Amino acid sequence: MELYVRADTVVSRVIAGETLIVPISKGIGDLASIYSLNPVATTIWEAISHPRSKSEIIQLLAREFEAESTQIERDLESFLVEMESVGLVTEVGVAASS
């Protein structure tokens, strides 16, 4: 199973309760590409501060939010695909299956 983690080319900060992500290129923040995260995305972002599998993230989201498991899986997949496509999240390897 794949592990996901934040890319090392971004910085994030919580400002006034809102999580903001800024990509960094050549040591400079790309202010034209600032991302603002909703509470679910913020929970995912916090979870992937170190490598996590999808199943670990799904379990965390299920504990934090009231939603159908299929909805949680769809939302997580959508988030990961979007964040990978813009270089904010990377796959870092494979975890041993239990």
Burial grade of 4 (CB within 10 A; 0-12, 13-18, 19 or more): buried
Per-residue pLDDT of 32-85, as tens digits, reads 678 999 999 999 999 999 999 999 999 999 999 998 989 999 999 999 999 999
Per-residue pLDDT of 21-31, as tens digits, reads 988 876 666 56
Say if residues 34 and 21 touch (Cβ distance below 8 Å).
yes
Cα–Cα distance for residue pair 6/57, rounded to 1 Å: 13
pLDDT at 24: 82
Q: Answer with the residue of higher pLDDT: 29 or 8.
A: 8
Segment 1-20 shows an average pLDDT of: 90
23-49 burial code (b ≥16 CB/10 A, e <16): beeeeeeeeeeebebeebbbbbbebbe
Domains, the chain, ordered by start: 2-93 (3.90.930)
pLDDT at 80: 95
pLDDT at 64: 92
